Amino acid sequence: MTTHAPLHIVFTGGGTGGHLFPGIAVAQQLRRDLPDARITFAGSGREFEQYHVQQAGYEYLAMRCRPLPRRPWRIGSFLVENFRGYRAARRFLDRHEVAAVVGLGGYASAVMARAAIRRGVPLVLLEQNLFPGRTTRWLAKSATFVCASMDETIAHLDPHCPVLVTGNPLRAPFLPSSRSTPRPLAGEGPGVRAAGNKAAAKRAVLHSAHDKHSPHLFHSTTTTERQSLRQLLVLGGSSGARTLNEHVPRALATLGWALRGWRIVHQAGQGHVEATRRLYRNLQLDATVVPFIPDTAQAISETDLAVCRAGGTTLAELAALSVPAVLLPYPYAADDHQLKNAQWFAASEGCIVVDERRHPTDLPDRLADTLGPLLSQDGACEAMSRAIHTLARPDATRDVATLIEQLVAHR
């Protein structure tokens, strides 16, 4: 009697939450559908990747890889390091019976994805942004499928690429079936819950994990006060965003009249939290400033208005939870992909774009002009909430997982 090894699927890439979290979402769905499957994440070895993959309960493999350098004299070391990573990926695929490789985008996905193509292992690419990244464009024609988040992505890939528009996979807490009641994560301490006049999913208060990433989020207001406040959430991504940390507080400081009835929660990034707290104090603004929010689904679900960058995964999460936003696209994003994302979402009237490059000296004033009416006018955020929700694709996670399951069914 022949004993078959468990189905083995490798997710490769990561680097940022925008690339990593869609992969974790699909892996979680595969684990529910195929409980005996072996799932491995291969990435750059960054602490951020390892932490979240291990928290999700999957194996992690660090690969040697480097991004394409901007300085020509570093090309040599780039080629050497990535070739070593590619050879290690080939050896890994030779030694393990891998049924499929799922590329999550970014430079960290390239060595394993390229090894999969050379080895004849099916390759599925996930593209989170409207304009596909360099790695996706390079590998797309050799992939078995490319799963795009937006219809417009097709126009930016070779017409012979096998593209399916699935939407951006989201983790279970962002999906409708998971939002009926607040859900603390395993290992979290007790949190405070608030009720209010919005849908139940948008009135659960942030829980705070007792780890290095998250102190208690609410400490200076009573439960009754929290129940009556609306939430403005400033999200700078997993590492924070210097522009948001420096300019959003200054913009809010001019809107004292409009901030009545609002609480401010600001994710500043691990290295920027003290400076951001100090700025709010100097401006005499009451704000909860944290380095990182481990349960972003919980945070976003109770938010009435967000101020954030425009990564594809962040925008998909906002749409799923019907949260409107003021978007400040990262001006140095490759191929200006964040501005393209932001403009596409703004066309739904669920977001407003503030391009910081057009306001080099008056960005706080421009932000204040944008935020003031949203914070002070009844119904403004509610109308935007309905608009952004039209862009939600709640079936994306299951659709991508089903595609992978069909792909490996006969291997």
User: What pLDDT, in 10s, does the model give residues 223-278?
Assistant: 555 557 999 999 986 666 889 999 999 999 999 889 999 999 999 988 899 999 99
* Partners of 353 in beta bridges: 327
Give the pLDDT of residue 225: 55
| DSSP H helical ranges for 254-346 | 273-282, 296-301, 312-320, 337-346
Give the pLDDT of residue 226: 54
Give the pLDDT of residue 187: 28
By the 8 A CB rule, do 138 and 367 touch?
no
Give the pLDDT of residue 386: 96
| Residue 341 vs residues 130, 175, 310, 333: alpha-carbon distances, Å | 6, 21, 6, 11
What is the pTM for the complete model shown?
0.85
d(CA 215, CA 116): 41
Q: Which residues contact 82 (CB under 8 A, 6 or more apart)?
A: 64, 65, 66, 110, 111
Give the pLDDT of residue 196: 35
d(CA 38, CA 220): 45
Pairing type for strands 163-165 and 230-235 reads unpaired
Q: Which residues contact 67 (CB under 8 A, 6 or more apart)?
A: 78, 107
Q: What is the pLDDT of residues 121-148, one digit of tens each?
A: 999 999 999 999 999 999 999 999 999 9
Spatial CA neighbour of 171 closest among 342, 20, 65: 20
* Greatest distance between any 2 Cα atoms in the chain: 76
By the 8 A CB rule, do 121 and 100 touch?
yes
Q: Which residues of the chain have pLDDT under 70?
A: 1-4, 177-227, 237-240, 411
Give the pLDDT of residue 91: 93
* Partners of 264 in beta bridges: 232
Q: Which tokens in the block code for residue 348? A: 């739904």
